[in-house]
Amino acid sequence: MNFINDQHTNTYPQAFLSDVLTGLSKPNRYIPPCWLYDTVGSKIFEKITDLPEYYVTRTEVKLLHEIALSFSQIIGPNASLVEYGAGAAIKARIFLNALIDPAEYVAIDISFDHLEQSLTELALDHPDLRVRPLAGDFISGVMATSLDSETQRVGFFPGSTIGNLSNDEISTFLRSSRDYLGDDAYFILGADLRKSSDILIPAYDDAQGVTADFNINLLKRINRELDGTIDSSQFSHKAVWNDELSRIEMHLESLEEQTFEVAGQSFTMSKGDTIHTENSRKFQRPELDKLIQENGWKMVRYETDKDAYFSVMLLKAHQ
């Protein structure tokens, strides 16, 4: 996927079209989670972060406030902070306030309109900081821009977005960010930890139905952008705990036998068939150690909240 120079067919955004048509044609229908975030999806995601059941953001934000100063002292002055999947950039603000004279904030997100709005406000609060929003895929896109050569590079990947990626994608991401940020780089990584499904399932299937709206918005987006004819009222949101793979899976379940079109192509789903739309993996420390070590980084600090719900790590580029 490369969204920076996204090719458009006559009317459709090519990367989205290709992922949707391929994903709906597989026996186990799967559409990658990045497509949940158009402008509407990003706004719904912000509502999710405030839900009582969604412990993730609350816990990470509190932890970041606790550790930001000590991480910043290790990192030192004049940083270029590079955030992958920045969204509302709320967590970057915590670090930008703690870092000593930060020089630059580069933020990449697939949902660009939303990012631009967030960074306009952030730039007003940090008049001396170079603020650079980038549109694109965080695995391939950020490489297209060059950083100030004199700065201390720091990658930032909070929100446990790493849990949405497969092992192969995590390896590609960590290696390419290591290559891009360079030999002296640091990296601040947030990862959600394994815990009881009694806590996890409500976090991804809340009582007010906000997460359901977020998931269903993908179908509405397909209708808006790819001439889809999907009746979204004939789907329901499902959050399933997959214990073996230690992940919450989000699915859209068909409530009846139905046929719909996407960009002129016809698809049929039986009652009970699902479209798999997101994985949120819940990590354990040894898995994180292994992924980090095997992909060009070493662990400098590993911090969790008091309940060990969430971890924030400081990594240093491996020489």
Ligand X SMILES: C[S@@+](CC[C@H](N)C(=O)[O-])C[C@H]1O[C@@H](n2cnc3c(N)ncnc32)[C@H](O)[C@@H]1O
Segment near ligand X (CB under 6 A), from 11-19, 20-28, 153-161, 176-184?
153-161
What letter would DSSP give residue 162?
G
Tokens at 201, concatenated: 């399932």
Place of tokens 């918005």: 217
The total of other beta-carbon atoms located within 10 Å of residue 309's CB is: 19
159 counts as binding ligand X under rule CB under 6 A: yes
Residue 42 or 80 with smaller CB distance to ligand X: 42
Residue 87 C-beta: closest distance to ligand X, Å: 3
What type of residue sits at position 148? Answer: D
Identified binder of ligand X from the candidate list 81, 95, 131, 137, rule CB under 6 A: 137
Of 110, 119, 188, 312, the residue at the interface with ligand X (CB under 6 A) is 110
158 contributes a contact to ligand X by CB under 6 A: yes
Smaller CB separation from ligand X, 214 or 235 = 214
Considering only the stretches 97-105, 106-114, 146-154, 259-267, report the one whose residues sit in contact with ligand X under the rule CB under 6 A. 106-114
Instruction: List alpha helices for the chain, DSSP H.
Output: 14-25, 39-48, 55-75, 90-98, 112-125, 167-181, 197-204, 210-226, 285-294
- Beta carbon of residue 140, minimum distance to ligand X (angstroms, whole number): 9
Torsion of CA 146, 151, 153, 159, to 10 degrees: -90
Name the residue nearer to ligand X (CB basis): 109 or 206: 109
Minimum Å gap between C-beta 102 and ligand X is 17
Amino acid at residue number 239: A
247-254 β-sheet, strand order: 235-242, 247-254, 274-281
Options 161, 215, 217, 277; binder of ligand X; rule CB under 6 A: 161
Compare residues 221 and 267 and give the one whose CB is closer to ligand X: 221
Cα–Cα nearest to 176, from 141, 128, 225, 221: 141
Q: What is the number of helices (H) and of strands (E) in the chain?
A: 9, 12
What are the residues whose beta carbons fall under 8 Å from the beta carbon of 85, sequence distance 6 or more? 108, 109, 110, 138, 157, 159, 161
Query: How near is the Cβ of 61 to ligand X at its closest, in Å?
Result: 9
Q: Helices 55-75 and 90-98: crossing angle, nearest 10°?
A: 30
Between 16 and 297, CB nearer to ligand X: 16
| Site residues (CB under 6 A) for ligand X, limited to 57-86 | 57, 85-86
Site string for ligand X, 86-105 (x = CB under 6 A): xx---x--------------
Q: Which positions touch ligand X (CB under 6 A)? A: 34, 37, 42, 45, 57, 85-87, 91, 108-111, 137-138, 158-159, 161
